[in-house]
Chain A
Amino acid sequence: MLKYIGQRFLQFLLIIFIANSLTFLLPRIIPGDPIQEALTAKAATAGRANVDIQAWAATYNAKFGLDQPLWRQYINYWFDMFRLDFGYSLNDYPATVMSKIQAAIPWTLGFMSVAILLAFIVGSALGALLAWPNSPGWIQGMVPILMIISAIPFYLFGLALIWIFGVKWRLLPTGGAYDPTLILRWDWKTTANILQHAILPATALVLFGVGSWALSMRATMITILGEDYITFAQSKGLPDRDIFLRYGVRNALLPQVTGLAISFGLILGSGVLIESIFTYPGIGSLIYGAINSKDYFVINGTVAIMVLCAASALLIVDILYPLIDPRIRYDK
């Protein structure tokens, strides 16, 4: 068991290593160093902060400048990576990249995890029901609808939702996480406001998510219902509901939950589009803004954090999976 954890942890490190090395190499393959130019431009235009920025530009050049051999740049890069030091934001200097990320993460995590969880629960329940041959006809008729919903990327839903509920009917706010005029406090008013702003983006996400979770659960359930132990359970005279839950769903949940965990791993990345459309101040918006203002440090830092998050999630899945699947736990 320890060997298993050890193996997975090594894999985790390997993933981080390769992914971050790619992050280092890829931009440098492209000719021209926009960071250099951006820094120089900034140094030239900044007013009072001129001295600080110049100091910063100098530090940057010392570490990553063109006169440094690539391998030394690489080592410096990793030193920074360990300390999670992604430098300063080009746009919001003197804010550090890390501070911006830290401000944005809670929003993304909070709203996305609720949406994903909701979509998973509703979708899986629906999917399981769809696979059961004895469920009523109207449920079966939902399959094509779900197929269509799952095929359409969710940000398209988002735009439509904003228009219907935000513009045409003016029921819900069209963007942001909370009212700009609101002062954030731990009270009911703030919470209500946040929830109100979260409804539309969450709906778009959940709609799409339900479709794909339902279809995948249905497929898994159909395979499981074809297994011998279902026939044997029926021959024992077990009632339908028992078989459906304890023999069917219980087995189908295993691969589904793995999928859920991976979803959570990619949670930071998936939010990019939905947040940009709804101007929700999470990681996604951060990267969106950074793209438009060419804030390379923020982009780099965000991507690194995304990779870290995804790799960690995979590691956690691998470690926790034996807890739910006894076949792996008790392997001699």
Chain B
Amino acid sequence: MTAENGISRRAMLMKLGLFLNGIVGVFLAVPIVRYLLSPVIREKKLGYESWLSLGGLEQFPAGQTRLATYRNPVVNSWDGETSDIACWVRNVDNQKFQVFAINCAHLGCPVRWFAQSNLFMCPCHGGAYYQDGSRASGPPERGLFQYSYKVEGGKLLIKAGEMPTPGQPVVSKAGGKATCA
């Protein structure tokens, strides 16, 4: 059975069926893509990046650099130990602090502090940083990442929640300023 314009009824119906499937496919694809991209396009929920306490100021003596840990603000029960993050706190003079990310600015390995030579050294590719976080030697292109911080009620707080990487260096490169409590 061929109609006058040369298109058979069956071919027409098949095309209609394919067209309908295409529409359904698009309807399904949108939520699927949205689901896949959820880590990227999620709204920055309250508490996603928030002020976290590193503990009382007495843990960070003036002139010294100490390791501190905090719990990531957004956690799931199955995250286990991975939600505890370390960082280096430098108390410059009790007024000014610096909070460095643990991740080397080269490729994210954990840097270690050597108080005797006042250097941070990275075990992966040999990056080294001075005590103020600036690059000393090795492959890193920049200094250590710094978190914004503030002092409130005798506690040191930092703004954290995202792993710093060369493409996304925490909140700001310069770090925050002390706000007196």
Bound together: no
Chain A residues engaging chain B, CB cutoff 8 angstroms: none
